[in-house]
């Protein structure tokens, strides 16, 4: 294992069979070596900085029916909400005062959020906060829609590919969604000049090591500026309610591997990671992560953006989240960076 990790560290790549052994090992010494190499590489490019992204969960309405997701359209128990333009602006205002310089508007695929509506919000944000990055995470839309939103002032787009293996993609999604369309969206976003984030869930139902290797290979092809991964966490009113969730150890292994494969990438320690272990995000930060995405959504809607069970940070005000995260980041030995936090390499 030592040799494999050193080879990945030196060359940023491994063969399929080498990756398989590394993904599957439960050797603790290997985990520690991977962690320290990942941390060394993140510090080479980003020092001790951790970038904050203020997450505004704009809508829990979704036309899609992804089998793992708590806000899928078939979940009749879900309590739905959508924010108004004024509410979104208020979230951004409080976020700006708290020092955030990136706003992420994420939501289900809600047809109420037309291009006209989104472009209005984006240009207002762009005008008020010229020093901030505007990130969108609104799922699959048309090339024209992505183009208009970019023109209105959006900088970045987060769209996890979810699963790069056709077979697994089909088991996690309804028939009307396709991996090829998901990929097309990512290539469209990239060609429009967005900084792109992609990624996948770890430990999703039916996922094999070969599926994870397919995810890594797809990311090597796409070369996104950000890679978001987190453990799959079951949601009680989805078809995967009784499935096992992804583990902390496997998620950390993949984070370490991603940092060594993509030395300059932006790698968030996700809320899902913090949900499966109380110190999950701190462990992520120590294993190559350099981004956290605290919640800026109004407290009265937070519980309703329930993608999975036991999601953390649903009861606190934005300011409390900010203080709590600052404490966690510093306790792990890192520092909060109040800046836009672009990827050090425009195109990886
Ligand atoms: N509609 C947008 C935003 C989706 S929510 C889009 O399609 O991109 C953001 C991410 O949450 C998803 O990409 C998915 O990977 C993750 N997610 C959804 N359900 C989850 C679950 N049960 N456990 C862990 N992560 C989940």
Per-10-residue mean pLDDT, the chain, length 348: 98 98 98 98 98 97 98 98 98 96 98 98 98 98 98 98 98 98 98 98 98 98 98 98 98 98 98 97 98 94 96 91 94 95 77
**Of all helices (H) and strands (E), which one includes residue 46?**
helix 28-46
- The residue among 236, 341, 238, 231 whose CA lies nearest residue 290 is 341
Q: What is the spatial distance between Cα 309 and Cα 152, in angstroms, rounded to a whole number?
A: 35
Residue 316's pLDDT is: 87
Residues 6+ positions from 156 with CB-CB distance below 8 Å: 102, 133, 134, 135, 136, 194, 195, 196, 197, 225, 226
Residue 39's pLDDT is: 98
Residue 101's pLDDT is: 97
Residue 338's pLDDT is: 87
- Tell me how far the alpha carbon of residue 11 lies from the centroid of ligand 1, in angstroms: 31
Pick the CATH number of 29-333 from 1.10.10.10, 3.20.20.70, 3.40.50.970, 3.40.50.2020: 3.20.20.70
- Tell me how far the alpha carbon of residue 2 lies from the centroid of ligand 1, in angstroms: 34
Q: What is the spatial distance between Cα 250 and Cα 246, in angstroms, rounded to a whole number?
A: 7
139, 307, 308: residue to mutate for ligand 1 pocket, most atoms within 8 A of CB: 307
CA 196, 224, 257, 287 torsion-angle sign: negative
Q: What is the spatial distance between Cα 257 and Cα 213, in angstroms, rounded to a whole number?
A: 11
Ligand 1 binding pocket, CB closer than 6 Å: 68-69, 106, 108-109, 137, 139, 159-160, 162, 201, 230, 232-233, 235, 272, 307-308
Q: Do 134 and 153 meet the contact criterion of CB atoms below 8 Å apart?
A: yes
Q: What is the spatial distance between Cα 274 and Cα 93, in angstroms, rounded to a whole number?
A: 26
Residues 6+ positions from 237 with CB-CB distance below 8 Å: 70, 75, 77, 78
- Tell me how far the alpha carbon of residue 75 lies from the centroid of ligand 1, in angstroms: 15
The average confidence (pLDDT) of the chain is: 97
- Tell me how far the alpha carbon of residue 320 lies from the centroid of ligand 1, in angstroms: 24
Q: What angle do CA 342, 123, 151 make, to 5 degrees?
A: 70
- Tell me how far the alpha carbon of residue 229 lies from the centroid of ligand 1, in angstroms: 10
Residue 346's pLDDT is: 61
Q: What is the spatial distance between Cα 229 and Cα 332, in angstroms, rounded to a whole number?
A: 20
Domain boundaries along the sequence of the chain? 29-333
């Amino acid at each position: 294992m030592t040799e494999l990790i050193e080879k990945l560290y030196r060359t940023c790549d491994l063969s399929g069979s080498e990756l398989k052994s590394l993904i599957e090992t439960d050797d603790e010494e290997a985990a520690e070596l991977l962690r320290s190499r990942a941390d060394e590489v993140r510090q080479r490019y980003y020092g001790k900085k951790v970038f904050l992204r203020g997450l505004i969960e704009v809508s829990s309405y979704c036309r899609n029916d992804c089998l793992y997701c708590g806000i899928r359209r078939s979940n009749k128990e879900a309590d739905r909400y959508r924010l108004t333009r004024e509410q979104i602006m208020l979230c951004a205002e409080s976020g700006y005062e708290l020092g955030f310089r990136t706003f992420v508007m994420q939501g289900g695929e809600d047809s109420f959020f037309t291009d006209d509506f989104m472009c209005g919000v984006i240009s207002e944000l762009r005008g008020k906060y010229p020093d901030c990055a505007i990130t969108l995470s609104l799922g699959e839309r048309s090339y024209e829609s992505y183009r208009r939103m970019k023109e209105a002032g959006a900088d970045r787009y987060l769209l996890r590919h979810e699963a790069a293996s056709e077979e697994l993609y089909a088991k996690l999604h309804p028939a009307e969604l396709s991996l090829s369309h998901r990929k097309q969206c990512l290539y469209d976003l990239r060609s429009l000049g967005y900084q792109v984030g992609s990624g996948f869930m770890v430990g999703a139902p039916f996922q094999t090591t070969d599926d994870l290797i397919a995810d890594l290979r797809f990311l090597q092809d796409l070369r996104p500026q950000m890679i978001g991964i987190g453990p799959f966490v079951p949601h009680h009113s989805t078809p995967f309610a009784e499935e096992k969730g992804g583990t902390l150890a496997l998620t950390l292994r993949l984070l370490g591997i991603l940092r060594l494969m993509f030395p300059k990438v932006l790698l968030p320690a996700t809320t899902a990671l913090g949900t499966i272990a109380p110190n999950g995000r701190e462990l992520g930060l120590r294993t190559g992560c350099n981004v956290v995405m605290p919640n800026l959504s109004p407290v009265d809607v937070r519980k309703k953006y329930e993608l999975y069970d036991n999601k953390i940070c649903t009861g606190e005000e934005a300011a409390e989240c900010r203080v709590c995260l600052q404490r966690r980041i510093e306790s792990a030995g890192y520092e909060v960076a109040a800046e836009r936090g672009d990827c050090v390499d425009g195109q990886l």
